[in-house]
């Protein structure tokens, strides 16, 4: 199978990145991770680029110069999919337009509930019975693009923000790879 090329954008720990890298090494996974982009030069997740021997770049793509360099790089590499994995910058409208339908994100809530930050705090504070994560396409409105898939967890009475985050993140690692498979099986069917 000829795998498409994917670029993962990170800002932090990169635990979703590593889950995607591991899936991408499976024989029938539709993409390889060709490039990792971080806006933070000290992002812990960049260690995974080194461990797994994947090219990485550090860009502030909201700076015009970096934006142009990155666009060239993504085009030159023929990147088919951009996965945001804990990427903490808002992408410019221009960037989203250039890669329309090719950028996806993972968000730690059952969208459309709790867009933006502090999703675990909100779910606990509101005494929600369930929470989860969503993989969705990125459009020009924050956390509002078409949903690809969601995974749910039950919130117990003794859950804290920390325990809820851990539960949801475990689901995220499966959800992101499943969503990528789903996108390409839709394209190929």
Residues that bind ligand GRF (CB under 6 A): 10, 12-17, 45, 85-86, 106-108, 133, 169, 172
Contact 180, 6 (CB under 8 A): yes
Judged by beta carbon, residue 30 or residue 86, the one nearer ligand GRF is: 86
The CB-of-125 to ligand GRF minimum distance in angstroms stands at 18
The CB-of-65 to ligand GRF minimum distance in angstroms stands at 26
How far apart are the two ends of the chain, measured CA to CA in Å? 15
Q: Residue 108: which residues within 8 A CB-CB, separation 6 or more?
A: 119, 120, 133, 165, 168, 169, 172
Contact 184, 30 (CB under 8 A): yes
What is the distance between the alpha carbons of residues 110 and 151, in angstroms, rounded to a whole number? 8
The CB-of-71 to ligand GRF minimum distance in angstroms stands at 23
Judged by beta carbon, residue 151 or residue 189, the one nearer ligand GRF is: 151
The CB-of-58 to ligand GRF minimum distance in angstroms stands at 15
Judged by beta carbon, residue 10 or residue 138, the one nearer ligand GRF is: 10
Contact 8, 83 (CB under 8 A): yes
Contact 177, 17 (CB under 8 A): no
Annotated catalytic residue 66? no
Pair of tokens at residue 151: 């995974």
Q: How do strand 147-154 and strand 31-38 relate by DSSP bridges? A: unpaired
Q: Please pick, among 17, 49, 107, 171, the residue that the annotation labels catalytic.
A: 107
Judged by beta carbon, residue 102 or residue 167, the one nearer ligand GRF is: 167
Residues annotated as catalytic (active site), given as ranges: 107
């Amino acid at each position: 199978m000829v795998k498409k090329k994917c670029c993962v954008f990170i800002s932090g720990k990169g635990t979703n990145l590593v889950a995607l890298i591991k899936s991408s090494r499976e024989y029938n996974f539709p993409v390889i991770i060709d490039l990792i982009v971080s806006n933070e030069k000290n992002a812990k997740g960049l260690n995974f680029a080194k461990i797994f021997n994947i090219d990485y770049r550090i860009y502030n793509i909201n700076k015009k110069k970096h934006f142009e360099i990155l666009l060239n790089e993504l085009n030159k590499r023929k990147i088919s999919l951009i996965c945001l994995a804990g990427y903490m910058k808002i992408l410019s409208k221009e960037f989203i337009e250039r890669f329309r339908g090719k950028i996806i994100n993972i968000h730690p809530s059952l969208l459309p509930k709790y867009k933006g930050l502090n999703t675990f705090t909100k779910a606990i504070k509101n005494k929600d019975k369930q929470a989860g994560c969503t993989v969705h396409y990125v459009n020009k409105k924050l956390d509002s693009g078409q949903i690809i898939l969601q995974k749910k967890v039950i919130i117990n009475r003794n859950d804290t923000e920390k325990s809820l985050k851990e539960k949801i993140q475990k689901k995220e690692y499966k959800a992101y790879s499943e969503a990528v498979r789903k996108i390409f099986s839709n394209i190929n069917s």
